[in-house]
């Protein structure tokens, strides 16, 4: 990539080409739930699919890196930020269509709002995902799940846009979903998903959702910024239990602290930097590996870091 990116003409070119909001040097802090992260060279909110396609063609032809951000609920963005274009689909791609049990949702829709809409329409199957922060696009990328349910459970197909702006539909069977492994093809953006929901009683759905939300609040530290579980569950074990047994609850690096309520959460307690959080992650991995011989795999995703795994 051109080291002088973004040159002024490129910004002006894009201003002319695109209809949605385009901002230079946008801090990503307020777009991540950790509330850390440096600026994106460019930040773009497309108005619709065509606007997104125009950007995709432009960055594809010039080999400019881009990154789609959802609610940033699983991201650790570096203090240096992201060199390229960060795209936010929450304004332009949040449509919802319900036809009996078939539901199509735009990838920028917020999962929480979507699930309450399903409940109001007596459509079940994904109610146990209530309380997972993020968008539909982020949930499909991560195959987000909780309490034995995953977003892929009700999935029929995904509409995706390739880098050249072309739109294709992939059936669920074409995507190798797994535990926190969703649709992660790096050259494709999720535009919308189609689901087949289950006819359900709205009041029963509501009481399940209320109960799940109560359980989340009692077991998770929700009053400080975090990005949920930092590490994936190692086979047959719980990352939080290993971290707790390694004596790491309450351990701190700068403003980043291992939660005393749920040891697999790192909290931004006091103006933490992304580097503080990253250093704490490394410390936890080293300590757990030395103590139990288990290598913890990151569930949080690193964005804008050089030379890290
Ligand atoms: C308090 C808390 C509790 C949590 N609990 C859970 C839980 O119980 N279960 C769980 O699974 N997760 C949990 N998480 C993690 C997080 O909520 C999920 O990973 C969620 O799916 C992230 O969605 P997002 O929209 O914020 O995605 P982001 O974090 O913004 O992005 C995640 C990835 O998805 C990609 N992406 C986003 N949209 C698109 C798109 N349209 N096309 C292509 N790629 C896209 C991004 O590029 C990135 O690679 C929790 C997080 C928090 C803060």
Condensed to tens digits (0 to 9), the pLDDT of residues 169-182 reads 999 999 999 999 99
Condensed to tens digits (0 to 9), the pLDDT of residues 243-258 reads 999 999 999 999 999 9
Condensed to tens digits (0 to 9), the pLDDT of residues 4-16 reads 666 555 788 999 9
Check pocket membership of 69 for ligand 1, CB cut-off 6 A: yes
Tell me the C-alpha to C-alpha distance, in Å, between residue 309 and each of 71, 78, 112: 22, 13, 31
Query: pTM, whole model, 2 decimals?
Result: 0.96
Query: Closest ligand 1 atom, CA of 68?
Result: 47
pLDDT of 242 strictly over 70: yes
Condensed to tens digits (0 to 9), the pLDDT of residues 90-140 reads 999 999 999 999 999 999 999 999 999 999 999 999 999 999 999 999 999
pLDDT at residue 8, as a whole number? 52
Average pLDDT, the chain: 95
Percent of the chain scoring above 90 in pLDDT: 91
pLDDT of 2 strictly over 60: no
In this structure, the residue with its CA closest to atom 36 of ligand 1 is 138
Check pocket membership of 132 for ligand 1, CB cut-off 6 A: yes
> Which CATH architecture fits 10-88?
2-Layer Sandwich (3.30)
pLDDT at residue 68, as a whole number? 97
pLDDT of 65 strictly over 60: yes
Condensed to tens digits (0 to 9), the pLDDT of residues 282-309 reads 999 999 999 999 999 999 999 999 877 6
pLDDT at residue 308, as a whole number? 73
**Cα 36 off chain centre by:** 15
What is the C-alpha to C-alpha distance for residues 280 and 251, in angstroms, rounded to an integer? Answer: 8
Point out the residues that are catalytic. Answer: 180, 229, 299
Ligand 1 centroid distance, CA of 299 (Å) = 10
Work out the average pLDDT over 266-279: 97
pLDDT at residue 11, as a whole number? 86
pLDDT confidence of 187, banded at 50, 70, 90?
Answer: confident
Give the CATH number of domain 96-205; options: 1.10.40.30, 3.30.465.10, 3.30.420.40, 3.40.50.720.
Answer: 3.30.465.10
pLDDT at residue 186, as a whole number? 82
CATH annotation of 221-303: 3.90.78.10
In this structure, the residue with its CA closest to atom 9 of ligand 1 is 145
pLDDT confidence of 185, banded at 50, 70, 90?
Answer: confident
pLDDT at residue 298, as a whole number? 97
Task: Ligand 1 pocket test: pick from 28, 46, 133 the residue with the most ligand atoms within 8 Å of its Cβ.
Answer: 133
What is the C-alpha to C-alpha distance for residues 63 and 15, in angstroms, rounded to an integer? Answer: 18
Q: Retrieve residue 168's tokens.
A: 């294709």
Query: Closest ligand 1 atom, CA of 145?
Result: 11
Please report, for the chain, the start and end positions of each structural domain, with discontinuous segments joined by +. Answer: 10-88, 96-205, 221-303
SS3 per-residue string spanning the chain = CCCCCCCHHHHHHHHHHCCCEEEEEEECHHHCCCCCCCEEEEEEECCCHHHHHHHHHHHHHHCCCEEEECCCCCEEECCCCEEEEEEECCCCCCCEEEECCEEEEECCCEHHHHHHHHHHCCEECCHHHCCCCCEHHHHHHHCCEECCEEHHHHEEEEEEEECCCCEEEEEHHHCCCECCECCCCCCEEEEEEEEECEECCHHHHHHHHHHHHHHHHHHCCCCCCCCCECECCCCCCCHHHHHHHCCCCCCEECCEEECCCCCCEEEECCCCCHHHHHHHHHHHHHHHHHHHCCCCCECCEEECCCCCC
Condensed to tens digits (0 to 9), the pLDDT of residues 42-56 reads 999 999 999 999 999
Q: Retrieve residue 146's tokens.
A: 């909780």
- Identical fold for domains 10-88 and 96-205, yes or no, is no
pLDDT of 1 strictly over 80: no
Ligand 1 centroid distance, CA of 291 (Å) = 30
Q: Retrieve residue 45's tokens.
A: 């909110």
């Amino acid at each position: 990539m051109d080291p002088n990116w973004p040159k002024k003409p490129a910004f002006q070119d894009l201003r002319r080409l695109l209809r949605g909001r385009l901002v230079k040097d946008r801090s990503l802090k307020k777009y991540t739930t950790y509330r850390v992260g440096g600026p994106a060279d460019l930040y773009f909110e497309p108005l619709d699919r065509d606007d997104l396609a125009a950007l995709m063609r432009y960055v594809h032809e010039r080999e400019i890196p881009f990154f789609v951000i959802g609610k940033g609920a699983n991201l650790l963005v570096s203090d240096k930020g992201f060199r390229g274009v960060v795209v936010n689909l929450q304004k332009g791609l949040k449509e919802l269509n319900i036809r009996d049990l078939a539901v199509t949702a735009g990838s920028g829709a917020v999962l929480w709002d979507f699930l309450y809409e399903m409940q109001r329409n007596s459509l079940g199957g994904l109610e146990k995902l209530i309380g997972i922060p993020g968008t539909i696009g982020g949930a499909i990328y991560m195959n987000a799940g909780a309490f034995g349910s995953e977003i892929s459970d009700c999935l029929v197909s995904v509409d995706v846009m390739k880098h050249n702006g072309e739109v294709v539909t992939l059936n669920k069977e074409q995507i190798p979903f797994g535990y926190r492994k969703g649709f992660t093809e790096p050259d494709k953006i999720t535009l919308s998903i189609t689901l087949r929901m289950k006819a359900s009683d709205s009041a029963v759905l509501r009481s399940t959702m209320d109960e799940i939300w109560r359980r989340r609040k009692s077991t998770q530290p929700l009053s400080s910024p975090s990005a949920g579980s930092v590490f994936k569950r190692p086979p047959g074990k719980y990352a939080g239990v290993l971290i707790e047994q390694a004596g790491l609850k309450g351990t701190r690096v700068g403003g980043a602290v291992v939660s005393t309520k749920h040891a697999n959460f790192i909290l931004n307690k006091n103006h933490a930097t992304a580097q503080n959080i990253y250093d704490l992650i490394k410390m936890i991995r080293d300590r757990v590996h030395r103590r139990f011989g288990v290598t913890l795999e990151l569930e949080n995703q690193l964005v804008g870091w050089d030379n890290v795994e």
